[in-house]
Structure 1
Amino acid sequence: MNSADLPSCSNAVSFQSIFGPLNLDAEFPLAVGGDRHIFQHPNAPSLLVKVMDMKARARYLQARPFKRWYKQYQRESAYRVYLNEITEYVNTTTRPSGVWQVPLARILGVAQTSLGLGLLVEKITDDAGGIAPTVASLARQGRLDQALRARLDEFFEDLADAHVVLHDVSPSNIAYGRNADGKPGLYLIDGFGSLPLIPLYAWSRRLNRRRVRQKYAEMLASMERRAREAADRSA
């Protein structure tokens, strides 16, 4: 993180300004995912706060009785996703991989908010300081050119080299912008962490690399197909 963006933590008030409690009741989310809302941190420009959408989670579990049954015994409840992401972040950023900096949005910790426990993550920005566009939004704008494809090739190879386990390979989970240090590039902002009961891809770097490449190929093919369909409709 850029230390200039963070208040001094030399006293309790400054600490609370980062880690809460944070009042998000009157705030509008910058983005909405399948199960989380993403807010600007009210006191730190370089941070975002992810909070769980409990209504979306309830609807999801309502349609899955078995999953609803066994999840009632998980002490962390809906916040298990935070543990998965924090664990993956720690695992991939502490092992030598040949990747100088793993292309993940960095995780600071958790904070109490008025909407429940929030996950504090690095904000990837555009050149104006706003939230960076995702690869999905760039593709919809017709900007999936050869240069972006080359960057995506390198990005996914870096993820495989760092043995990052992905559970949702989606262009909506990849931001194209600058991290808190001002370094430009592609950054994974969601969809990482091992979910299966038998974590084969976490155990095997070789199997994970094969899966990352396969899922990337499927993602790229899907984006190109949608681009062709959009071009045909506008013709």
Structure 2
Amino acid sequence: MIDLSDLEPFASGYNRHCYQHPDDPALCLKVLRPENIEARFQRQPWPKKALGKARINDNHQELKAHRQQAIRTLIAQGRDSLLWSHLPRFHGSVDTSLGLANVSELIISSDGRPGETLEHYLQRRGFDQPVQDTVERFCNWLLETGILTRNLLPHNLVISDRTGQPELFLVDGLGAPSIPDILARIPAWRRRYISRRIKRFHLRINWETGERNESWEASQKL
């Protein structure tokens, strides 16, 4: 068991804390925040509660997302370098003092620090040309690989310049849990689904960098 009791997370979302692995600083440990998971579950209408808590367990959903067909196919074809060019390498789960944790590559910048989120970058510098090019490469990668994601949110994407140019890495939001596997196997449907996620992504970037005169929920409508 990995002891995290004396460590502080380097990043936190509503559902999970992210820790640097105490024995291997190149790895990230994602630990659930059970109090928030429970609060989220209690807010669900009763039909969704009947489906259980696994559907809102981000670690469980992430494990499932890494078993999607597109990822399995890339691994079987030996195209690992393409697969992990915009995803942190994934290493399964381990026991920690704070519960089960998902283990993945820690995305760092050339200075050795954890990469900056796209959300923070947009707040600092806006949607400038370097990050426009970065976003285009990431979106092209999604279309090329057929990897399914949830809605693409800037706080779930991290920028790293460790290869000499900035690249986006999806650190959260992988998978499409509400999509039946039979649909995910159809190339034309998958491309249409991904194209829709990309359109929403650009809408979100525009909202993040704009005046925000309306809520995100209103602005994202297509």
- TM-score under structure 1 length normalisation: 0.77
Distance 1:200 1:157 in 2: 24
Q: Give the match for residue 204 of structure 2.
A: 222
Percent identity of the aligned residues?
Answer: 22
Distance 1:224 1:186 in 2: 17
Q: Gapped runs of 5+ residues in structure 1?
A: 1-20, 231-235
The one-letter amino acid paired with 1:70 is L
Aligned residues: CA RMSD: 2.8
Q: Give the match for residue 123 of structure 2.
A: 140
Distance 1:112 1:32 in 2: 19
1:114-153 superposed matches below 5 A: 114-153=97-136
Q: Larger Rg: 1 or 2?
A: 1
Distance 1:28 1:161 in 2: 38
Q: 2:75 matched to 1:94?
A: yes
Structure 1 residues 46-77: Cα deviation after superposition (integer angstroms, max 9, x where no partner): 100001111111111101122222216x6x99
Q: 2:174 matched to 1:174?
A: no
Runs of 4+ in 1 over 4 A off after TM superposition: 95-100, 181-184
- Contact 2:18-2:30 within 8 A present in 1 as well: yes
- Contact 2:74-2:80 within 8 A present in 1 as well: no
The alpha carbon displacement at 1:100 in A equals: 4.7
Distance 2:78 2:154 in 1: 24
Structure 1 residues 144-170: Cα deviation after superposition (integer angstroms, max 9, x where no partner): 212211221121111121111102311
Q: Report the number of matched residues.
A: 207
The alpha carbon displacement at 1:214 in A equals: 2.1
1:57-136 superposed matches below 5 A: 57-64=37-44, 65-71=46-52, 78=57, 79-88=59-68, 90-91=71-72, 93-96=74-77, 100-102=81-83, 103-136=86-119
Distance 1:226 1:169, change over 3 A: closer
Q: 2:176 matched to 1:206?
A: no
Q: 2:39 matched to 1:56?
A: no
Distance 1:100 1:45, change over 3 A: closer
Distance 1:176 1:94, change over 3 A: same
Distance 1:99 1:144 in 2: 30
Q: Secondary structure at the match of 2:188?
A: helix
Q: Secondary structure at the match of 2:18?
A: strand
- Contact 1:87-1:193 within 8 A present in 2 as well: no
Distance 1:92 1:144 in 2: 33
- Contact 1:31-1:37 within 8 A present in 2 as well: yes
- Contact 1:142-1:227 within 8 A present in 2 as well: no
Distance 1:96 1:47 in 2: 25
More off after superposition, 168-177 vs 112-121: 168-177
- Contact 1:84-1:194 within 8 A present in 2 as well: no
Structure 1 residues 68-97: Cα deviation after superposition (integer angstroms, max 9, x where no partner): 22216x6x9934224223313842532559
Q: Give the match for residue 143 of structure 2.
A: 160
Distance 1:61 1:138, change over 3 A: same
Q: Give the match for residue 42 of structure 1.
A: 22
- TM-score under structure 2 length normalisation: 0.81
- Contact 2:18-2:28 within 8 A present in 1 as well: yes
- Contact 2:15-2:37 within 8 A present in 1 as well: yes
Q: Gapped runs of 5+ residues in structure 2?
A: 213-222
